[in-house]
Amino acid sequence: MSTSASRCPCTAARPKTTILKTVAGRGQDWVDLKRITQRSGRAMDWELVLRELEPLLEMTGQPESMDRLRGIVEIER
């Protein structure tokens, strides 16, 4: 497998991983989210992540997690 091909799944999975970790909201998930944000920075499609995340957090009764993620994104970008 070439280097560029091996990076593709990670890049595609990053928004999904960010969404899943935000919804799970465990302590280690927030540590991971900070690291993901540091590494991806502006390369991440944050509009997509936030758009898909909002209804999930509303359904799970965790709207405050959106503010927490936005805070991490603001600091790390």
Q: Which amino acid is at 22?
A: T
Residue 76: per-residue pLDDT: 75
Q: Do residues 38 and 76 touch, judged by C-beta distance below 8 A? A: yes
Single pTM value for the model: 0.80
| Residue pLDDT, tens place only, 12-67 | 568 999 999 999 999 999 999 999 999 887 889 999 999 999 999 999 999 999 99
Residue 17: per-residue pLDDT: 94
Indicate the SS3 state at residue 65: helix
**How large is the greatest C-alpha to C-alpha distance in the chain, in angstroms?**
42
Backbone angles phi, psi at 38, to 5 degrees: -65, -40
What is the Cα–Cα distance from 60 to 37, expressed in whole angstroms? 23
Q: Do residues 34 and 73 touch, judged by C-beta distance below 8 A? A: no
Residue 40: per-residue pLDDT: 87
Q: Is the pLDDT of residue 77 over 90?
A: no
